[in-house]
Chain A
């Protein structure tokens, strides 16, 4: 089982739609969680961190479910500019070291 798993998509949605992605992780001792966005042929960039109580940043809402070991990202009122690959990132604590484990990404296409 991969440490971090995501549905690769693509998710094709019309402008204005709401779309949600999930990401599951295997290490129950994981400390921190993030969503990154990656545009084609570009580097990944932080979209938002994910906090235990859930958090929102404009049209984006992130949730963490530690019991079921998944995080989610909800995008409301999708824009064409939201088209990208969304990477789930987990910070597991293993033997006192901290690494960033990346999912393979979920591709989103927002259609006009």
Chain B
């Protein structure tokens, strides 16, 4: 009963390092999303992929890149990590139609020092 799986769960990076957060879903959803959540800011959309082969910027895309590797997988890359990117990152997926539930992974806690 996997749903949305993201790795790693915890990571500490030094400023300037790069890393990729991995996400996979087994619900045959066509849409996938990356959010970040910060205290008092709520969930903010970084990038989304409406369907395999497409990606679009969300509310806070600066400093990130994404890859929709196939229908199941959607990765988020930090090319040069900054302390402002310290956050909890959630991957999510849904069917691309209004009214459908969005499902989340368990989150990745990233600290940039």
Contacts and interface: CB of A to CB of B under 8 A. Distances in A.
A34 B101 contact: yes
- The winner among B35, B56, B97, B98 for most chain A CB atoms within 10 A is B98
Contacts of B40: 8, 104
Contact of B42 (A45, A49, A105): A105
A100 B94 contact: yes
Contact of B102 (A8, A31, A97, A100): A100
B107 A42 contact: yes
Interface string B8-34: 000000000000000000000001010
Contacts of A45: 104
B101 A103 contact: no
Nearest to B99: A32
B106 interface: yes
A37 to B, nearest CB: 12
Contact of A102 (B42, B99, B106, B107): B42
A31 B99 contact: yes
A105 B42 CA distance: 7
Nearest to B50: A97
Given A49-B99, A91-B99, A102 B43 contact: yes
Interface of A: 8, 31-32, 34, 41-46, 49, 87, 89, 91, 93, 97-100, 102-105
Interface of B: 31, 33, 35, 40-43, 45, 48, 50, 56, 58, 90, 92, 94, 96-107
Given A87-B43, A97-B50, 17 more contacts: A32-B100, A42-B107, A43-B104, A44-B43, A46-B101, A46-B103, A49-B101, A87-B42, A91-B98, A91-B99, A93-B98, A98-B50, A99-B48, A100-B45, A102-B35, A102-B42, A102-B43
